[in-house]
Amino acid sequence: MVSSRAHEDAYTAEPFLPDRGGLPALRRAAAGCRGCPLHRDATQTVFGTGNAHASVMLVGEQPGDQEDRQGKPFVGPAGKLLDRALAEAGIDPDDTYVTNAVKHFKFTRAEPRKRRIHKAPTLREMTACGPWLAAELAVVEPELIVVLGATAGKALLGSSFRVTRVRGTVLEEEIHGRPERLVPTVHPSSVLRSDDRQAAYRGLVADLEVAARTLA
């Protein structure tokens, strides 16, 4: 195990990025990414989807169980809730691009063959996967980034990000060398886990309404 630390420090998607091409080339290349160990146990890379010229890019944490099986972001329960909240806030789904900070599902199992339980990615894994998100941002050039929860916030804005402090506000920050506008909100999964789902859901919609007004 002498070299394990040096090996971990080398986690990065960088060598897997194509030299040219748009989203299709990125998606093809990301399918073969081995930039960190998360590709080993997951089914497939879950790359972003949506309008390549979208005004809004939504960034989540990482694919969940359903996303890992289907190969598309936000197709499970959290995604259904997000779709509903976006519609209520008046954000046109055809004007969005949806992706995650980390492109492979990270999970544990309580016992072999039991249900797969989501596990939060580490800062090192988020950093390793960052070049894919940076490449998506460079191609899509959204007017606004909606940051869904703490992991996406940390991946984009650094480890001091606190969703409770900045949710529902418009931030202007330099991300991967480009000036970006961002509206952070909670992760839709946190609404599903909330003791007061109705209030949590209203809060999510209210934050998305800030995003919608920023576009208008």
Query: Which residues of the shown chain bind ligand URA in the complex (CB under 6 A)?
Result: 60-64, 67, 73-74, 76, 78-79, 100, 189
Which CB sits closer to ligand URA, 11 or 107?
Answer: 107
Alpha helices in 92-196 (DSSP H): 123-140, 150-157, 163-166, 188-193
- How far is the C-alpha of 173 from the C-alpha of 155, rounded, in Å? 13
The binder of 36, among ligand SF4, ligand URA, none, by C-beta within 5 to 8 A per type, is ligand SF4
| Binding test (CB under 6 A) with ligand SF4, winner from 23, 26, 29, 39 | 39
Site for ligand SF4 in 48-107 (CB under 6 A): 102-104
List the structure tokens of 172.
Answer: 């202007």
Q: Which residue is it, tokens 């599903």?
A: 192
- How far is the C-alpha of 129 from the C-alpha of 145, rounded, in Å? 18
CB of 199 to ligand URA, least distance (A): 21
* Contact (Cβ atoms closer than 8 angstroms) between residue 188 and residue 175: no
Number of residues that bind ligand SF4 (CB under 6 A): 16
The binder of 60, among ligand URA, ligand SF4, none, by C-beta within 5 to 8 A per type, is ligand URA
Q: Tell me the sheet residues that pair with 59.
A: 99, 147
| Binding test (CB under 6 A) with ligand SF4, winner from 23, 45, 98, 187 | 45
> Is residue 129 within the footprint of ligand SF4 (CB under 6 A)?
yes
Cα 29 to its chain centre, rounded Å, is: 18
Neighbours of 15 (CB within 10 A): 10
| Binding test (CB under 6 A) with ligand SF4, winner from 23, 38, 148, 200 | 38
Range in contact with ligand SF4 (rule: CB under 6 A) among 32-40, 82-90, 112-120, 164-172: 32-40
CB of 8 to ligand SF4, least distance (A): 12
* Contact (Cβ atoms closer than 8 angstroms) between residue 169 and residue 181: no
Name the residue whose CB lies closest to ligand URA. 60
Could you write out the DSSP letters of every residue in 181-197? EEEEE--HHHHHH-SSH
Q: Which residue is it, tokens 């506000």?
A: 169
Q: List interacting residues with ligand SF4 (CB under 6 A).
A: 13, 30, 33-36, 38-39, 45, 102-104, 125, 128-129, 132
